[in-house]
Structure 1
Amino acid sequence: SVAKVRCTSARSENQGGKLIVVEGGDLIEEKDFACPQGTTIEVAQLFYVTPARSKFLKGDSTEFSHITQVVTQQALAYPSIQFQLTHNGREVIQALPTDQIHYRIAELFGTDLAKSLVQVKSSSGDYRLEGYVSNPVYTRSNRSAQYCFVNGRFVRDKVILHGTQQGYNHLLPKGQHPALFLYLTMNPKLLDVNVHPSKAEVRFAFQQDVHQFISRSIREALERNLQTQIEGAQPDYDDIGINTSNETSINRPKLSSWLSKPEVISSSQEEKLSEALRKMSVSHEFRSFTTSPTWFDKPPIPVSNLIYSEFEPLGQLDSSFIIMQGKKGLLVIDQHVAHERILYERFRDAAKEKKIEV
């Protein structure tokens, strides 16, 4: 009702299509029209009948970014439909139809992000969650790559986002956010979509259940991915000739055989061994050490002096330790001890303010 709109649509090229023209809310034209399969909507002269509203529009780049965001949301919600967005003759989005959401993500956001994604697939009762999240190494400083859909509708819900954050279990650097492409399917009776004018927010009947389900699903997906990487990791033996198969030509005695049957060396063998060691020591100029060897060029940096935001998480070890890397080296964090420290500081600060809850 505030612009000039021209729409052409056809189910198939054989059946033909329709043309509808609406200007300022009035139907100007409706007729049969020959057009290719699909729907094309053209919007022109926005707010031409209400000039006062056009004053509230932002700059061209800002408004176009909003348009791009809407098209991206719809392209992720319906990967089986082709989406094309052009701006001033330049193609901005070209998403071909596919039955794999992973391919659609790669088309819209690039292959680098797509390669870092971890598949999420979980169900419990009335809830089913599918999609992809980025591994803890790939993060962004904003939430621009976070897309959540509930029953096919794009939403920005605090319960889902917080549950996702909890699923990473402190694996993310401070101020960093993962990429999310999650699709939650649930009973519509357990959902209220009429809480926001643009339907961008929803309200769950059982928010705690949804929060726990999403958090557990994300955590299990990340753990499975880490386990797969550990099991699939193979050492690189390209530089040395070694047999990496289970069967090896080297027979290594067991520890019990060394303890129960010590090898007896004859006097002649002992003399030959001594002579060989003497010649080796002379040729290589071996020297005996009177002091213990130095294992570090400089003493390790105290943990209290480290800035944790400068480290990036690599993964989780044995569900107990967080492995992180940074310019200052490798950092291993005991999750249990870290959690105790957080609780201690929380109680300490509350005691200073005399706000301890009993």
Structure 2
Amino acid sequence: MGVIKALHSSISNKIAAGEVIERPQSVVKELVENAIDAGSTVITVEVVEAGLNKIKVTDNGSGIQEDDLELMFMRHATSKIENDHDLFHIRSLGFRGEALASIASVSKVRVITCYDGKIGRQIDVIDGEIVNKTLAHARQGTEISVEELFYNTPARLKYMKSLHTELGKITDIMNRFIMSFPHIRFTLVSDEKVLINSSGNGNMQEAMSKIYGMKIAQDLVEINGETGDYKVTGYIAKPEHTRSNRHYMSLFINGRYIKNFMLTKAILEGYHTLLPVGRFPVLAIHITMDPALVDVNVHPTKQEVRLSKEPQLMSLISQLIKEKIWQQNLIPKVEKKSVLEQFEQQKFEYDLKNQSHKDELKQIVQESNESVETIEPILQNEETKQMLNYENNDRDKALDSNSVNELFTETNAFQDNPEDEPIHSGENSERTENVRDEKQLTERSIPYMEVVGQVHGTYIIAQNDEGMYMIDQHAAQERIKYEYFKARIGNVCMGMQSLLIPVTINLSTDEAINIQKIKPLLEDIGITLEHFGGNDYVINEVPVWFPEQYEETLQELIDFAFDNKRIDLNKFREETAIMMSCKKSIKANHYLRIDDMNYLIQELAETKEPYTCPHGRPIIIQFTTYELEKLFKRVM
């Protein structure tokens, strides 16, 4: 007699549950996905004890037909696919037919549903077996309750984290749903306390404000672009808002939250040197594509996907971020408003604008024969708002502490005062000419600022009508030199210069053995090593752009090449430029004259990316006039 036998469904479902249902969050994810697939516009999730005691998901979707009530708990029973073609053109979030069977095998499940808006039905399942089926009072849609999760698999229950941790994971997946489907109203209730309540009005930026707060929401930049195969939309935060991990980077493909290393890499390349080392951006990006170009059937949780034409999508994402982020004013502002102050200001502005809107609506109704219900939708139309000449526009702008700066960054221009007085520093008086070419001014990406001094030989202090600025002189020169070296590294045709005294490099035995690995990298940037005997090599010429202190720089460059053996020449060139710019820039505690500071800022303004150093640290910090006056109690 053979030893191979088919497993009982209760065993096979528990095995499947080990892959699909890892924790309460997994149950929430699967049930909410089913609710979304059912066309729901309102979805409520209620959990008790972080879902371990009870999870209830209620929706207003299509409901479940009577004939499907028993089939829905069978493994691989699904309404989403029928043939091979459907499998490779998945448009729904669920399709495997494993979720409900897996959930029911490790918990006690009750389903109350109404398909036609009239007759409700209830079915109870314990340990994967149907124990009750009856009529019930129900509204249109479905309510699924999952109780005592993992009650029959104590080993799995033992590995659950604390209730706080498990609830945090549920909150996280609900936040992803809110960003993925902002047109659906989601509510999360934990132990009878409402934790999440989205509006469901379809506004992606508002949805992100609910998750990440108003400060980040105000600094979100919209991206939008497409190719023949992909459409990419979403919001990315300015680089001053970063996190220590990738958790706040949300990617969605056809509404499905996914994780993809290569797309994450493309995002980071889009930010380039704007992010500090080890920091990651806050963003939510939606990718719409033909389902035939993505395989979502590569992992039980369906979060890992395989993409066709992945390089084209990476290029599109990287380019969109790069284009949009550099159009922004990326100078961080120092703000010290309390939470109460921010709330009061926002409430005041909202009430004021809302009252103004009501007054205008009342006036229009009085002047016409139409009703309020007829006029209201017209007023809410964006084109109508732009056409109407609201009398309170100037007042609203004056109330907005960011309006002046936003106008400034939108025009991306600034003006000099031809009657500027000389700048004084100690006993010496230096006058800086502020008359510059007007076309050049409009192309600069940082505002004009007047240097007034230096702090600790490290930070340059400057000012303009917007407030006070602090410039990190080392970071500023790093950016200048980085762009200078990057433009020249690898361009050996720019010219070489012979060294009067050749530089001798002494290698260790290990380095001499491996020298052939780095020689092509060095030759690509114009450095040729010639064997001199033993472990010694000489360099007879260097590129004309090469920094002085040849011997020190060359030794550092060779050490750097040994430490960073790379096949990617472009990456090596870039990291070499970063290394050189850091080593050769002015350091802290280095005092400068006023004209030197002005020249440094002028050079910085001529760079392509003047906001951060190559390592992603900020170069300029702004203290708005309002904040300065707040600090000195000039305004209360």
The answer, yes or no, to whether TM exceeds 0.5 is: yes
Residue 329 of structure 1 deviates from its aligned partner by 9.0
- Contact 1:350 1:356 (C-alpha < 8 Å) held by counterparts: no
Please state how far the C-alpha of 1:8 moved relative to its aligned partner: 3.2
Partner residue in 1 for 2:165: 62
Q: Secondary structure at the match of 1:106?
A: helix
Are the equivalent residues in 2 in contact too, given 1:11–1:17 (CA < 8 A)? Answer: yes
- Name the amino acid aligned to 1:79: P
Classify 1:72/1:297 alpha carbon distance in 2 versus 1 (closer, same or farther; 3 Å): closer
Query: 87, 92, 101: which one pairs with 2:204?
Result: 101
In 2, Cα distance between equivalents of 1:356 and 1:50: 49
Pairwise CA distance, 1:209: 1.4
- Aligned to 2:300, the other structure's residue is in SS state coil
Residue 484 of structure 2 corresponds to 337
Are the equivalent residues in 2 in contact too, given 1:6–1:42 (CA < 8 A)?
yes
State the partner residue of 1:268.
none
Alignment-derived partner of residue 127 in structure 1: 230
Q: Which has the higher contact order (CA 8 A, sep 6+)?
A: 2
Look up the SS of the partner of 2:242 in the other structure: coil
Partner of 1:348: 558
Residues 225 and 33 of structure 1, relative CA distance in 2, 3 Å threshold: farther
Quick check: 2:297–2:305 contact (8 Å CA) kept in 1? yes
- Superposition pairs for residues 194-343 of structure 1, below 5 Å? 194-226=297-329, 230-232=409-411, 292-293=428-429, 296=453, 300-301=457-458, 331=476, 333-334=479-480, 336-337=483-484, 339=486
Deviation for aligned residue 1:26 = 1.7
Matched, 1:6 2:110: yes
- Structure having the larger proportion of residues in helix: 2
Letter in 2 for 1:193: V
1:157 offset after TM fit, Å?
0.7
CA distance in 2 between counterparts of 1:142 and 1:4 reads: 37
Q: Which residue pairs with 1:51 in the alignment?
A: 154
- The answer on whether the counterparts of 1:95 and 1:108 sit within 8 Å (CA) in structure 2 is no
Question: How much does 1:60 deviate?
Answer: 1.6
Question: Are residue 186 (structure 1) and residue 292 (structure 2) matched?
Answer: no
> In the alignment, does 2:273 pair up with 1:170?
yes
Q: Check conservation: 1:77, 1:154, Cα contact below 8 A.
A: yes
Asked whether the 8 Å contact 1:156–1:200 carries over to 2, the reply is yes
Q: How far is the alpha carbon of 1:330 from its aligned partner?
A: 7.6
Are 1:157 and 2:367 an aligned pair? no
Shift of 1:342: 9.1
Note closer, same or farther for the CA distance 1:352–1:163 as it changes in structure 2 (3 Å cut): closer
- Once the two structures are TM-superposed, the CA of residue 233 in structure 1 deviates from its matched residue by 6.9
Return the offset for 1:73. Answer: 2.1
Q: Is the 8 A contact 2:115 2:141 kept in 1?
A: yes
TM-score (structure 1 length as normaliser): 0.67
Deviations 1:192-230 (A, max 9, x none): 222222111112122221211110111122134449762
One-letter amino acid of the structure 2 residue matched with residue 348 of structure 1: I
In the alignment, which of 9, 15, 19 is matched to residue 122 of structure 2?
A: 19
Cα distance change, pair 181–32 in 1 and its aligned pair in 2 (3 A): farther
Q: CA RMSD in A?
A: 3.7
Task: Return 5+ residue gaps in structure 2 as ranges.
Answer: 1-104, 331-405, 419-426, 431-451, 460-468, 491-524, 526-552, 570-636
Rounded Cα–Cα distance in structure 1 between residues aligned with 2:471 and 2:114: 56
CA apart distance, 1:155: 0.5
Instruction: Report the secondary structure of 2:321's partner residue.
Output: helix
Which residue in the other structure is 2:145 paired with? 42
CA distance in 2, matches of 1:202, 1:173: 29
Aligned residues: 285
Deviates most, 324-333 or 54-63? 324-333
SS in 2 for 1:170: helix
Alpha carbons of 1:219 and 1:29: their partners in 2 closer, same or farther (altered >3 Å)? farther
Conserved? CA contact 2:181–2:202, under 8 Å: no
TM-score normalised according to structure 2 size: 0.40
Alpha-carbon distance between aligned partners in 1 of 2:137 and 2:413, rounded to the nearest angstrom: 59
Deviations 1:55-109 (A, max 9, x none): 2222222222222222222232222222221222221111232222222222233
> Which residue pairs with 1:74 in the alignment?
177
Give the corresponding residue for 1:118: 221
Query: In 2, Cα distance between the equivalents of 1:55 and 1:342?
Result: 57
